[in-house]
Amino acid sequence: MFVWAEGTTVAQQEEVAAKLAELPGQIPQIAAYSTGIDAGVNPNTWDFVVVADFADRDAYLVYRDHPAHRDVIDAYITPIAAQRASVQYDT
């Protein structure tokens, strides 16, 4: 989940979503992948979320370290991210 820096536009958020949406075609270890901009239903929520499923821990690590993923983070997410929270869990 992300909270964007003040002044981040909807267009920037949509660009992040579009760039992230390209990753399943580049990283076969991604089993399921979705992103979303906060719907604005409740106050005091985060701005954006990424939900990803992987077959196992090793598949997640491939995704985490994959150059295409790192490029999206470095070029599109880091410049506008004020806060980030993440959880990885086993089912």
Determine the pLDDT at residue 91: 80
Alpha carbon distance, N-terminus to C-terminus of the chain: 20
- Go through the domains of the chain in sequence order and give each one's CATH number: 2-84 (3.30.70.100)
CA dist 50 to 22, 55, 79, Å? 13, 17, 17
Residues 16-54 have pLDDT tens digits of: 999 999 999 999 999 999 999 999 999 999 999 999 999
7-16 pLDDT, tens digit per residue, is 999 999 999 9
CA nearest neighbour of 38 among 82, 4, 86, 80: 4
pLDDT tens, position by position, 48-91: 999 999 999 999 999 999 999 999 999 999 999 999 999 999 98
pTM: 0.92
d(CA 16, CA 5): 14
